[in-house]
Amino acid sequence: MAHHCYFNGITTSVEATNIHITDLGLLRGYGLFDYFRTYNGRPFKWDWYWERYERSAKLMRLPNPISKEDAYRVVLDLIKKSGLDDCGIRFVLTGGYAEDSMTMSKPNLLIISEDIHPVKPKEYETGIKVISHEYVRDYPDLKSTDYKHLMILQPEIKEAGASDVLFYKRGYISELSRSNIFLVKNDILITPNRKILRGITRRFVLELAKEHFKVEERNVELSELFDADEVFTTSSTKKVLPITQIDKKIIAGGVVGSKTKFLLDLMNEKVKNW
């Protein structure tokens, strides 16, 4: 499908949108992004995503050039123009153009409609494999466009036959490259609460889970995952996706757990009539 991009007040096709080579996002990696999807043509948890986008902009000291109300109108227009039942929406805010390659004057804002790239349905039945890697993102509280560490690790991920990488530091896990992580042990739902991006799907799952589980948000040791009853990851496109292998360690016999299935079913039911 043809997609469109809002760029500093003008909406055109993605193919017709151009950005100058002096942009600080390109020259200095000075930029942030956010991403959400629609359900039934409606933006999912718009208020939560806008809150996170604004927080990221403040943390990066990037002036936000658009109001929440105007941004929502742009988003609805992009959804309509996509012609899809559901699509993804990406915000990209950079430091703008700088002739001296350093001085920010006016930020550049792009809002882009995209196809959704969901996980394969079979992976909800079998779970996925991830590899572990000792690393913590700079400024994990915000969604920076700096994903160079993940890009560097792509050959290792592919060679291992894995889907993603799990980051940890000094024995404590934080998150996957683009999603949060949970484990279940003795009917307790546990998730890290430090050195992470507080994902919107993570927040949604925690909200759904509080009526059904005891929940712990705390430091989590990497070794706890290997002894967990279940492990899963959450994100906008993954929803609640089971993890059945970490490095060479099979989790809980490689079987997708009932708590993971329950939370996935609960989320699917909630978004059905969003």
Question: What secondary structure does DSSP assign to 79-102, as a single string?
Answer: HHHHTSSS-EEEEEEE--B-TTSS
The CATH T-level fold of domain 123-272 is D-amino Acid Aminotransferase; Chain A, domain 2 (3.20.10)
The yes-or-no verdict on residue 1 having pLDDT over 80 is no
Mean per-residue pLDDT for 31-39?
97
Q: Whole-number mean pLDDT of the chain?
A: 97
User: Looking at the DSSP assignment, which residues form a beta bridge with residue 242?
Assistant: 232
Q: How far apart are the first and last CA of the chain?
A: 23
What percent of the chain clears pLDDT 90, i.e. is strictly above it? 99
Domain layout of the chain by residue ranges: 4-114, 123-272
Confidence of residue 5 (pLDDT cuts 50, 70, 90): very high
Summarised one tens digit per residue, pLDDT across range 190-244 is 999 999 999 999 999 999 999 999 999 999 999 999 999 999 999 999 999 999 9
Note the Cα 105 to chain centre separation in Å: 29
Q: How far apart are CA 222 and CA 5, in angstroms?
A: 41
The yes-or-no verdict on residue 249 having pLDDT over 80 is yes
- Among residues 6, 3, 2, 57, the alpha carbon closest in space to that of 32 is found at 57
The CATH T-level fold of domain 4-114 is D-amino Acid Aminotransferase; Chain A, domain 1 (3.30.470)
The yes-or-no verdict on residue 10 having pLDDT over 70 is yes
The predicted pLDDT at position 195 comes to 96
Confidence of residue 250 (pLDDT cuts 50, 70, 90): very high
The predicted pLDDT at position 2 comes to 78
Summarised one tens digit per residue, pLDDT across range 104-150 is 999 999 999 999 999 999 999 999 999 999 999 989 999 999 999 99
SS3 call for 37: strand
Q: Cα dihedral sign for 132, 210, 241, 243? A: positive
Beta pairing class for 239-246 and 230-235: antiparallel
The yes-or-no verdict on residue 68 having pLDDT over 70 is yes
Q: In terms of DSSP H, where are the helices of the chain?
A: 24-27, 46-59, 68-82, 123-126, 148-159, 200-209, 222-226, 258-272
The yes-or-no verdict on residue 50 having pLDDT over 90 is yes
Summarised one tens digit per residue, pLDDT across range 143-185 is 999 999 999 999 999 999 999 999 999 999 999 999 999 999 9
Q: What are 69's two structure tokens?
A: 């109300």
